[in-house]
Amino acid sequence: MEPKGEEINCLALKVKEIIQSSGCQNEDVIFLCIGSDRSVGDSLGPLVGTMLKEHTVPYRVYGTLENPVHAFNLKDTLKKIKKQFKKPLIFSVDACLGNQNQVGYVFLKDGPLVPGKALKKVLPEVGDYHITGMVNYIDPLPTMQFLNDTRLYTVMNLAKTIVKIITQASGETSGIK
Indicate yes or no: pTM above 0.85. Answer: yes
98 burial via Cβ count (<10 Å: 0-12, 13-18, 19+): middle
State the fold for domain 5-169: Rossmann fold (3.40.50)
For 133, half-sphere exposure in the C-beta direction (CA atoms, 13 angstrom radius) is 37
Q: How far is CA 10 from CA 88, 165, 168, in A?
A: 24, 9, 10
Residue 3, Cβ neighbours under 10 Å: how many?
20
Going residue by residue through the chain, which has 177 residues, state the pLDDT in tens, using 9 for 90 and above.
556 789 999 999 999 999 999 999 999 999 999 999 998 989 999 999 999 999 999 999 999 999 999 989 999 999 999 999 999 999 999 999 888 899 999 999 999 998 877 667 778 999 999 999 999 887 766 555 556 678 999 999 999 999 999 999 998 644 443
Residue 163, Cβ neighbours under 10 Å: how many?
23
CA distance 118 to 133: 13
> What residue ranges do the domains of the chain occupy?
5-169
Q: Calculate Rg over the CA atoms of the chain.
A: 15
User: Are 174 and 17 a contacting pair, CB within 8 Å?
Assistant: no
